[in-house]
Amino acid sequence: MKQKTLRHAQATLVPVLMEPRPPGARRLAPFKEACRYGNWGKSRAYELIEAGKIKAYKDGRKTLVDLNTIDEYHKSLPALPAK
């Protein structure tokens, strides 16, 4: 049952990522899908929102996260030094 849910979530996230958008347009995704996209859990996502490192918006009870800000956050992370 859980595997089916995961496949459904992945199938719904892919069109959001692949749609052509005008430059500067926000790519908003539901909170759960944004956590998967950012590769972190709920607690870490809320910490990043609170710190202002990623942007989230409320639409009624739904929390939508701007995927562009997740990309910017990932780009801002320092690289590990070569050994």
Asked if 27 and 67 count as a contact pair (C-beta separation under 8 A), the reply is yes
Can you give the residue ranges of every domain in the chain? 27-78
Q: What is the mean pLDDT of residues 3-22?
A: 56
pLDDT band at 19 (very low <50, low <70, confident <90, very high): low
Question: Which H or E run includes 9?
Answer: helix 2-18
Q: How far apart are CA 64 and CA 33, in angstroms?
A: 9
pLDDT of residue 83: 85
Q: What is the mean pLDDT of residues 57-80?
A: 95
Domain 27-78 has CATH 1.10.150: no
Q: pLDDT tens digits, residue range 38-52?
A: 999 999 999 999 999
